[in-house]
Amino acid sequence: MFENRPGRADEIIFVGRSNVGKSTLMREITGHSFDTGSKPGVTRSPNHYDWASDDFMLTDLPGFGFMSGVPEEQREQIKTNIVHYIEDHADDILVGVLVVDGKSAVDIIDRHSGEDEIPYDVEMFYFLRDVGIPVVVAVNKMDKVDDEDERLNELCDRLGLHPPWKQWRDTIAPISAKRGNIDALNEAVKTELHEQKRDDLMKFFS
Ligand SMILES: Nc1nc2c(ncn2[C@@H]2O[C@H](COP(=O)(O)OP(=O)(O)O)[C@@H](O)[C@H]2O)c(=O)[nH]1
Ligand SMILES: [Mg+2]
């Protein structure tokens, strides 16, 4: 299990497949560069960002899905650990940010939708909701997407949210972390924090 959790009360978690841009996003939000390894799959335990003096932190959970050089059995173990971590800390987790790659997310979801297979991103979306954690989907790498509205509508559909995506701006946040364009995510997170009467934490998302 993951045993390096700092003693900070409130937490916002980031989950998503490897290589969707989670580390890039953490850098953009915190303004800090953390050496977390650039190879996909290198991160096998959470990275906790307790850079602020507030009793608060961001947590980058290990990516899963395909990770080169990581055996299937170990991948399953990482997934189990992530699920346990979220269950154990659900009361302290204010928001769950599911990061997806806007260019490939729908294709990957469709490829993994089968008789008894639930695609990871869809499964995680519902799992977070089931344990009572509000979810914001950060749809990253939008700089690579041409048909923005169409892609976002398809993603909504796969997540069980009725299109058009524009009526889900508190849930669907198109961003480009690499370009520093994360306004939509900041707004969605702030909306959620405000609803939970945690305006004190909104300063981290401006
Ligand atoms: N085009 C584009 N590439 C991005 C964006 N964000 C991250 N990347 C790239 O995606 C790759 C994986 O990013 P990383 O942050 O390491 O992903 P992680 O595995 O989810 O932590 C890197 O090459 C990043 O430069 C983005 O908004 N647009
Ligand atoms: Mg990373």
Cα of 22 from ligand 2 centre, angstroms: 5
Is the model's pLDDT at 41 over the cut of 50? no
What is the tens place of the pLDDT at every residue in 115-158?
777 888 999 999 999 999 999 999 999 999 999 999 999 999 99
What is the tens place of the pLDDT at every residue in 51-108?
888 889 999 998 766 566 777 788 788 888 899 999 999 999 999 999 999 999 999 9
Instruction: Please provide the average confidence, as pLDDT, over all residues in the chain.
Output: 89
Q: Which CATH number fits domain 10-199: 3.40.50.880, 2.60.40.420, 3.90.1330.10, 3.40.50.300?
A: 3.40.50.300
Who lines ligand 1 at CB under 6 A? 18-24, 38, 40, 63, 140-141, 143-144, 176-179
Dihedral angle computed from the Cα positions of residues 13, 14, 15 and 20, in that order, rounded to the nearest 10 degrees: 180
**Atom of ligand 1 lying closest to residue 140 CA:** 27
Average pLDDT rounded to a whole number, residues 22-36: 84
Q: For residue 31, what are the CA distances in angstroms to 26, 37, 42, 44, 205?
A: 8, 17, 22, 23, 11
Q: Which ligand is nearest to the CA of 29?
A: 1
Would you list the domain boundaries of the chain? 10-199
- Whole-model pTM: value is 0.93
Q: Ligand 1, residues 24, 25, 43, 120: which to mutate, most atoms within 8 A of Cβ? A: 24
Q: What residues sit around ligand 2, an ion, with C-beta below 5 angstroms?
A: 22-23
Distance separating alpha carbons of residues 133 and 90, to the nearest angstrom: 7
Q: Reply yes or no: is the peptide bond before residue 164 cis, omega within 30 of 0.
A: yes
Q: Which ligand is nearest to the CA of 44?
A: 2
Is the model's pLDDT at 187 over the cut of 50? yes
Nearest residue (by CA) to ligand 1, atom 2, is: 141
**Phi-psi domain of 39 (left: phi exceeds 0; alpha: psi -120 through 50; beta: other):** beta
Question: What pLDDT, on the 0 to 100 scale, is given for residue 54?
Answer: 87
